[in-house]
Amino acid sequence: MRKLTLQALTIFTGMLLLLIVQVQKTWALEYGGGIETTRWQVTGSVFSCQFEQELPEYGEGIFYHEAGEDIVFQLKTRKNLMKPGMASISITPAPWQPSRSSEHLGYAKLTTENPNLELDPERSNQFLHALLEGKQPVVTRRAYYDDGKFIKVHLSAIHFKEYYLKYLRCVDQLLPMNFEQVARNRIYFGGGKEELTLNDQALLNDVVFYVKNDPRVIAIYIDGHTDNIGRRYDNRQLSKRRAESVEKYFIDNGINPEMITLRFHGQRYPIATNKTAAGRAENRRVTIRLEQQEDLKIPAHLLFVP
């Protein structure tokens, strides 16, 4: 009997040691704000809003909202401890409600470059909703230095609602579009035509609006083109008149003429075959390209004031 008891004790001790080893292997080093350390901040301009939380000793969790786009969540680190690959994305209950279940939102690619992780708008909005409910969005990934250990980063919901209202105010003052959405456009023309349609004018109105509201736009390039129907000289003159119709619309609507560079090429640069009607329709065009000097300082009146 004593021998059996000794054997059982030996087996139990071995199982306990194995359990300890397994726990050690899955141990997670966790980063995130607590009651005393949670800090939210809202900054921005008419071009974008950043709603972020400092992750003490690790980096920042940022909700980035660019004008004309939906919100995305980004994880930026000072020193990334996570192994590149697919990180687990989840929402855990509030610390004071540990009995509630967690919600797994799938995986997202984690890289070595900042931002180390960026979520799609759907899951980014799920993160926001979770924080409104007092829950904690979580990103988990194996440590790059030990596959048996994990790095866990969470966002704290402390003070969230107060700053969420500031974030909404920032979003309200965003422009309806961003630079990339208006930086390159094309106006198409019918055979031999050079007049702008109402749809063309609506597109150009967006460009005018943006240029007037972004002092970093320093130049507008207008290029006229035709298909190959007709004489080369006539086509070159037609492409000139097409480009001039766009230029005139800009100037009539308040764009500084000195910003504009106008060029006309006739049939010289087709983007499709001229052997079909569809191809010729693509070649009868005026292209508009904006140039932006990104390093220009954004004027104070365009910055968001919390």
Query: pLDDT tens digits, residue range 45-83?
Result: 999 999 999 999 999 999 999 999 999 999 999 999 999
As a whole number of angstroms, the distance between CA 264 and CA 267 comes to 9
Q: How far apart are CA 238 and CA 247, in angstroms?
A: 14
Query: Can you tell me the distance from the alpha carbon of 237 to that of 135, in angstroms, rounded to the nearest whole number?
Result: 65
Q: Over 70: is that where the pLDDT of 13 sits?
A: no
* Residue 160 pLDDT > 90: yes
pTM of the model: 0.86
293 domain residue, yes or no: yes
Instruction: Please give the pLDDT value at position 5.
Output: 54
Which of 153, 172, 191 is the endpoint of a domain? 172
**Residue 18 within any structural domain of the chain:** no
- From residue 195, give the alpha-carbon distance in Å to each of 191, 244, 245: 11, 10, 7
What is the pLDDT, as a whole number, of residue 262?
98
Tens of pLDDT, residue by residue over 215-246, are: 999 999 999 999 999 999 999 999 999 999 99
Q: Are residues 220 and 167 in the same domain?
A: no
What's the mean pLDDT when you consider all of the chain? Answer: 92
Contacts of 98 (CB under 8 A, 6+ apart): none
Q: Find where tokens 């924080």 sit.
A: 131
CA atoms of 215 and 252, how far apart (whole Å): 19
The CATH number assigned to the domain holding 225 equals 3.30.1330.60
Number of domains in the chain: 2
- Identify whether 46 is part of a domain: yes
Buried-exposed string 71-86: b where 16+ CB fall within 10 A, e elsewhere: bbbbbbbeebbbbeee
- Cβ atoms of 248 and 260 closer than 8 Å: no
Whether 212 and 291 share a structural domain? yes
Residue 100 has pLDDT above 90, yes or no: no
How many whole angstroms separate alpha carbon 186 and alpha carbon 160? Answer: 44
- Domain check: are 205 and 101 in the same one? no
pLDDT at 97: 79
CATH of the domain at 53: 2.60.40.2540
Residues 116 and 186 in one domain: no
Its domain, for residue 194, covers 179-302
Lookup: tokens for 217: 């736009």
Domain-ending residue, one of 122, 149, 172: 172
Same domain flag for 236 and 131: no
| 206 and 244 both lie in a single domain | yes
Contact present, 284 and 190 (Cβ < 8 Å): yes
pLDDT over threshold 60, residue 15: no
